[in-house]
Structure 1
Amino acid sequence: MAAAEVGGAHGCPTLPLANGRSIPVLGLGTSHQGGYSHDAVVHALQKCGIRHIDTAKRYGCESLLQKAIEESGVKREELWITTKLWHSDYGYENTKKACLESCERLGVEYLDLYLIHWPDAHVPGKSNREVRAETWRAMEELYERGLCRSIGVSNFLISHLEQLKEDCVITPHVNQVEYHPFQRPQELVDYCRSRDIVFEGYCPLAKGEALTHPSIIQLAKKYGRTPAQICIRWSIQNGIVTIPKSTKAERIQENCKSMRSWGDSAGHSWYFLDEQTCSVGSVSRISCLDLVPEGGMALVYGLNCIRMNKGNSGVELSKEKHIPWTSLAYFIEVQAALTLDLAVGEVLRKEFLFCWWG
């Protein structure tokens, strides 16, 4: 069975949101102060298969993105577009107006994901909690109207999410927070997962600081990859939707190769399994021998692993186990993952990583 790679609407693995939609695990981030390049965005869409674009009103490039998307020729329905509400637009009426304005600048009729950019509001005479609640009620209305297919927050801590839970109806679908090897808020990640909030990470390269760290350089040499690819892959394999940003076409190309099959000097190969092939509906047509050689062993990483026992008439569901994601540095040691004997016919479902050897 072929491993999934970045490329096209169906090439990038996704994570399911609580509302049934699926968000690509790898996206292209943008920013202000020189953080946007028209040519780089067009290249990402046309040549790299990127379909997830992250922006914000604050960045000042929504209208520029409209031009890049039009030039790329990629259809709107193939794209996942995220933008964010800036704090100057917080409040019930302002939020609804700002959403429509962002849609107009982007040239779209709806947003795939709309985020409250920061928890702090700075509105005279009102507490931050009051403003967040009022703003979120507007977000809920935008969601119910279909103008926003998903809604979420950015830079929210557990205390902010707890207050929102008490004050509002719909749980955020996403929380976007800084995430990289030097900034790993595991308590917040665990909290979000316990409430079916997908955790999305920005600055996966730690604003470039991670690229010169000795441990990351060592891993890059071991796997024959670049430090940037190590950081991005590490983030994704921890179950984090990851949005590196770059204004250089060659860097975007490099980042996208983080998703491809890897191997190391010991002969271990790493794959993202194709979502469609490994979905529940098609699992009866999959044999373990599609994944690894007969008698091989596998280390399995992921949010969910479904064990399948292959019988004479096909594959039958045995049980489901939850397996914690393991840091890149501990792939071979496998401290928390599950070891399976795939000779008995194990088949694995959807969006996790595994390694095999004979």
Structure 2
Amino acid sequence: MILNETFTLSNGVTIPKLGLGTWMVDDNKAAQAVRDAVKIGYRNIDTAEAYGNERGVGEGVRSSGVPRDELFVSTKLAAEIKDYDTAVAAINGSLETLDIGYIDLMLIHAPQPWAELHRADYSEGNRQAWRALEEAYQAGKIRAIGVSNFLEADVENILEYGSVVPQVNQIEVNPGNTPTELIAFCQAKNILVESYSPIAHGKILTNPEVATLANKYGVSVAQLCIRYTLQLNTVSLPKTANPEHQRTNADVDFVISDDDMVSLRDLHTGD
């Protein structure tokens, strides 16, 4: 069962292959979403400072009925934070807001502020933010550190100037939007890739080609897309607060053929 399967990060920390994404889940609904997911069997919960729901996620973890050390909780340093002092304050702020003792994984949310994503150079700012994460990691406040939405050059900047190699790069991956070269680059560096928005923010649910393939396997489009990202050897992070969707998202113990994996990779989405 996929909920029992894990990857091992480069530092030996294990991370469940399927996680619960909480983007767009209101803070006042996040605790129940986490409790529902944990009851179903999820052990990997992903949040971010920018989501505004760290408080609710932390409450859900504390009240889940499952020991803290059996859960893997990720959060992210806001993309706009590109200096050391602000990063240190934000890391401590997330620790305080979550109130779960420690963070399993913390990422730099993006290499540039969202309004400037991939259009401006914040190399020095990322190095400063990374130094703050490294110190929190070495102090035992965080069990693993990584990046998100980083392209190859952004990762190389951290590899060149940092003292800790990122353990994770969390990027958008779904059929028709598969950055194959970036995934291969990260995997060659022993950086685990996490796939967010495996269902393409819901847009792919009406794609007729994907629907045809899903019917072939007797599964839903969402299940096919989640399985696709898992078979790329990435962590899959579908987001939902709906317990029934959480349950069906985890029912992905089937295998997509090599030919169909290629078809999904090369899918024309019309975007």
- How high is the TM-score relative to the length of structure 2? 0.88
Match of 1:41 among 24, 30, 34: 34
The equivalent of 1:195 in structure 2 is: 189
Q: How far is the alpha carbon of 1:88 from its aligned partner?
A: 3.9
Aligned residues: 257
> SS where residue 175 of structure 1 aligns?
strand
Structure (1 or 2) with the greater helix fraction: 2
State whether residues 15 and 22 of structure 1, in contact with CA within 8 Å, keep that contact through their aligned partners in structure 2: yes
**Counterpart pick for 2:223 among 229, 250, 264:** 229
Say which SS state the counterpart of residue 133 (structure 2) adopts: helix
Residue identity matched to 1:59? Y
Q: Distance in 1 between matches of 2:13 and 2:163?
A: 19
Identify unmatched segments of 5+ residues in structure 1: 263-269, 271-300, 302-324, 332-358
Q: Relative contact order (alpha carbons < 8 A, sep ≥ 6): 1 or 2 greater?
A: 2
Amino acid at match of 1:128: Y
| Aligned position for 1:153 | 147
Q: Which has the higher strand share?
A: 1
Distance 1:19 1:204 in 2: 26
- What do residues 8-67 of structure 1 show as CA deviations (whole Å, max 9, x unaligned)? xxx2x1112111112111000011375854433211111x10000000011110111122
Whether contact under 8 Å (1:96, 1:138) holds in the other structure is yes
Partner of 2:92: 100
| Deviation of 1:245 (Å) | 0.1
Q: Which amino acid aligns with 1:69?
A: V
Alpha carbons 2:2, 2:18 under 8 Å: kept: no
| Bigger shift: residues 113-122 or 197-206 | 113-122
CA RMSD of aligned residues (A): 2.2
Give deviations 1:100-120, integer Å, cap 9, x for gaps: 211111112211100000101
1:178: which partner in 2? 172
Structure 2 residues not aligned, in runs of 5+:
115-119, 264-271
The corresponding residue for 1:238 is 232
CA contact (8 A) 1:234 1:327 kept: no
- Looking at structure 1, the residues matched to 153 and 90 of structure 2 have their Cα atoms a distance apart, in angstroms, of 26
Question: What is the percentage of aligned positions where both structures have the same residue?
Answer: 38
SS at match of 1:84: strand
TM-superposed deviation, 1:127: 5.7
Q: Give TM-score scaled by structure 1 length.
A: 0.67
The answer to whether the 8 A contact 1:238-1:326 is kept is: no
Radius of gyration: which is bigger? Answer: 1
